[in-house]
């Protein structure tokens, strides 16, 4: 299909070397010679200005004001979410070395995919994921991209709200020092999730620009840093095996086996159990890549953050992405490593939950739970942003910003996710499938094929190395997607328990 030309300019912002075809107005002389990256910001800055000098509000919409640091916070916050809680489980099923290898690979691929997105967006001057889809494949491309973003991010948000629903009552119970849950409303996860949505998430989700969320993102990240420190600390303060470990001897016949023998057996088993494995392959290993891919998804947020960046350039945005991915990579590895070294193979698919077995009333664990709850709560508005944008692009393209619509979409989305989490938590399993489909699409397949279609052949022929690499990247994504989906389906058919998908 012929790639459509610039027809949807209201939301588009020129951002590249091909401004000529996109900007009907005169190019400022100072920026006639656009040299990639170093002077691009000049072109971009002017691009903003010249876009529609008469439409004032529109220009202020996209004049980047967010600093480098705040953008790093926002992107890191977009990356960091419930994914971190599933990584220790992933490590238990891969072993430390294989985990490190896979985590490194996913982090590098994730960064490469952002490179592809930025390069494509630079070529056509667009800073919205769906618009890249439109430029590459017309309306179907735009629809598919918007759908993947919507499903992926609604899945992620549901998983965050689900954590709030299941963890917050326990936190309150512990705070109030109650042995059992009472039937009071403040112990009811459903009420609590609504309350958190209305009081904290909605006001933040109503912000007009992502940049304003920099402070809350910074705070969210510090909560996760606290979580990480606590996980490391706990490794040295939780005995291995957990006291419940002796129960494994239940299958021995105590009357026939001498007590010391049992003791020796338990100790041998315990020391074997508490030895880290460096390389493991089991039926759950296959879930590692989907868990990691989910943990690194931030691609729908990259272009909106780029749009709001002060003095934007591809190079600067790539720095922001690499920095955020590197920081998250280190945090992910440490959280997985120390979580694994605390519980070894008994680590649950949701790390936080495993600590309940140590001591549900431990103050540090309580604080950690509050920190994680705060972090995921503050991530919801960031993840909601691209979904609202995708909806706007599909239903209200070419329309000016409208507060009422902005508020209604955010409220509608939050209501929908709340209803999902309250009435149909089992549906979240379906998001496992969606996650296994949309995450590889957003990270691997779309950036690669959009890049292939968007970068003109005069600039990079179809057989040039970057394009061949991009195609290989798409094929890799496709293989990963097929693999994750088949494992999930096999799991469903054989009726084995759902493993540690992140949502």
Q: State the residues that interact with ligand GLN by CB under 6 A.
A: 79, 81-83, 152-153, 156, 294-295, 297-298, 300, 383
Q: How far is the CB of 85 from ligand GLN (least distance, A)?
A: 9
Q: Give the nearer residue to ligand GLN in terms of CB position, either 124 or 382.
A: 382
CA gyration radius, the chain: 24
Residue 107 CB, shortest distance to ligand GLN, in Å, is 12
Nearer to ligand GLN, 125 or 381 (CB): 381
Cα separation, 276 vs 95, in Å, equals 7
**Start-end of H helices in 63-95:** 68-79, 83-92
Tell me which residue of 146, 141, 83 sits closest to 110, measured CA to CA. Answer: 83
Q: In the complex with ligand GLN, which residue's Cβ is closer, 442 or 448?
A: 442
Closer to ligand GLN at the Cβ: 214 or 300? Answer: 300
Rounded Cα distance between 336 and 502, Å, is 14
Q: How far is the CB of 215 from ligand GLN (least distance, A)?
A: 20
Q: Count of CB atoms within 10 A of residue 362's CB?
A: 17
Contact 64, 309 (CB under 8 A): yes
Distant-in-sequence, close-in-space partners of 479: CB < 8 Å, separation ≥ 6: none
Residues 6+ apart with CB under 8 A from 432: 488, 498, 501, 503
Packed helices 288-296 and 96-124: angle between N→C axes, nearest 10 degrees: 40
Neighbours of 78 (CB within 10 A): 28
Q: How far is the CB of 443 from ligand GLN (least distance, A)?
A: 10
Whole-number minimum distance, CB 81 to ligand GLN, in Å?
Answer: 2
- Minimum distance, C-beta of residue 346 to ligand GLN, in the bound complex (Å): 23
Least Å from the CB of residue 502 to ligand GLN: 6
CA nearest neighbour of 366 among 355, 354, 375: 355
Smallest gap from residue 299 Cβ to ligand GLN (A): 8
Q: Which is nearer to ligand GLN, 81 or 304 (CB)?
A: 81
Six token digits for residue 77:
């916050």
User: Smallest distance, Å, CB 338 to ligand GLN?
Assistant: 18
In angstroms, rounded to a whole number, what is the distance separating the alpha carbons of residues 388 and 212? 16
DSSP summary character for residue 199:
I
Q: How far apart are CA 485 and CA 46, in angstroms?
A: 46
Decide whether 153 or 188 has the Cβ nearer to ligand GLN.
153
Q: Which is nearer to ligand GLN, 300 or 304 (CB)?
A: 300
Q: What is the number of the residue whose Cβ is closest to ligand GLN?
A: 81
Q: What is the 3-state secondary structure (H, E, C) of 204-259?
A: HHCCCCHHHHHHHHHHHHHHHHHHHHHHHHHHCCCCCCCHHHHHHHHHCCCCCCCH
**Closest CB to ligand GLN among 22 and 291?**
291
Instruction: Tell me, letter by letter, the H, E, C secondary structure of 361-400.
Output: CCHHHHHHHHHHHHHHHHHHHHHHHHHHHHHHHHHCCCCC
Q: In angstroms, how far apart are the furthest CA atoms of the chain?
A: 94
- Nearest distance from C-beta of residue 420 to ligand GLN, angstroms: 15
- Is the CB of 168 or the CB of 297 nearer to ligand GLN? 297
Return the number of the residue (43 or 378) whose C-beta is nearest ligand GLN. 378
Minimal distance in Å, beta carbon 255 to ligand GLN? 50
Taking the least distance from each CB to ligand GLN, the nearer of 145 and 297 is 297
In whole angstroms, the minimum distance from the beta carbon of 129 to ligand GLN comes to: 11
Nearer to ligand GLN by Cβ, of 132 and 295: the residue is 295
Phi, psi of 309, deg, nearest 5: -70, 140
Check residue 444 and report its DSSP letter. I
Question: By three-state DSSP, how is residue 121 classified?
Answer: helix
**Alpha carbon distance 386, 377 (integer Å):** 17
């Amino acid at each position: 299909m012929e790639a459509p030309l610039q027809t949807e300019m209201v939301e588009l912002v020129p951002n590249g070397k091909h401004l000529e075809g996109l900007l009907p107005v005169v190019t400022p002389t100072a920026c006639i010679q656009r040299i990639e990256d170093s002077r691009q910001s000049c072109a971009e800055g002017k691009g903003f200005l010249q876009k529609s000098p008469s439409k004032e509000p529109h220009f202020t919409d996209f004049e980047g004001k967010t600093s480098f640091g705040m953008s790093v916070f926002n992107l890191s916050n977009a990356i960091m979410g419930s994914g971190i809680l599933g990584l220790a489980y992933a490590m238990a099923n891969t072993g430390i070395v294989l985990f490190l290898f896979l985590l490194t690979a996913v982090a590098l691929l994730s960064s490469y995919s952002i490179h592809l997105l930025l390069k494509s967006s630079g070529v056509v001057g667009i800073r919205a994921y769906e618009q890249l889809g439109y430029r590459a494949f017309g309306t179907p491309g735009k629809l598919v991209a918007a759908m993947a973003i919507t499903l992926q991010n609604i899945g992620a948000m549901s998983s965050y709200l689900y954590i709030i629903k299941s963890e917050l009552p326990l936190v309150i119970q512990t705070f109030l020092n109650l042995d059992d849950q009472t039937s009071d409303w403040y112990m009811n996860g459903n009420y609590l999730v609504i309350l958190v949505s209305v009081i904290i998430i909605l006001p933040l989700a109503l912000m007009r620009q992502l940049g304003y969320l920099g402070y809350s993102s910074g705070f969210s990240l510090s909560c996760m840093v606290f979580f990480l420190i606590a996980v490391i600390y706990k490794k040295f303060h939780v005995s291995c095996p957990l006291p419940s470990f002796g129960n494994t001897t239940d299958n021995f016949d105590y009357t026939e086996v001498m007590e010391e023998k049992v003791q020796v057996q338990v100790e041998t088993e315990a020391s074997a159990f508490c030895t880290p494995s460096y390389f493991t392959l089991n039926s759950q290993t296959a879930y590692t890549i989907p868990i990691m891919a989910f943990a690194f998804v931030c691609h729908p947020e990259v272009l909106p953050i780029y749009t709001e960046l002060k003095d934007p350039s591809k190079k600067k945005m790539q720095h922001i992405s690499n920095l955020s991915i590197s920081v998250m990579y280190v945090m992910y590895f440490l959280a997985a490593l120390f979580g694994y070294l605390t519980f070894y193979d008994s680590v649950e698919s949701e790390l936080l939950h495993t600590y309940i077995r140590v001591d549900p009333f431990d103050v540090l664990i309580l604080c950690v739970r509050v920190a994680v709850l705060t972090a995921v709560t503050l991530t919801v508005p960031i993840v909601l942003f691209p979904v609202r944008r995708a909806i706007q692009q599909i239903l209200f393209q070419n329309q000016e910003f409208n507060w009422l619509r902005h508020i209604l979409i955010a409220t509608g989305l939050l209501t929908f996710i709340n209803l999902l989490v309250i009435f149909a938590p089992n549906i979240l399993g379906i998001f496992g499938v969606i996650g296994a489909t949309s995450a590889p699409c957003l990270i691997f397949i779309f950036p690669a094929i959009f890049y292939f279609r968007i970068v003109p052949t005069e600039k990079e022929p179809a057989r040039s190395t970057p394009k061949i690499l991009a195609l290989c990247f798409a094929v890799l994504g496709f293989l990963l997607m097929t693999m994750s989906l088949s494992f999930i389906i096999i799991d469903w058919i054989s009726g084995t328990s759902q493993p540690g998908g992140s949502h």
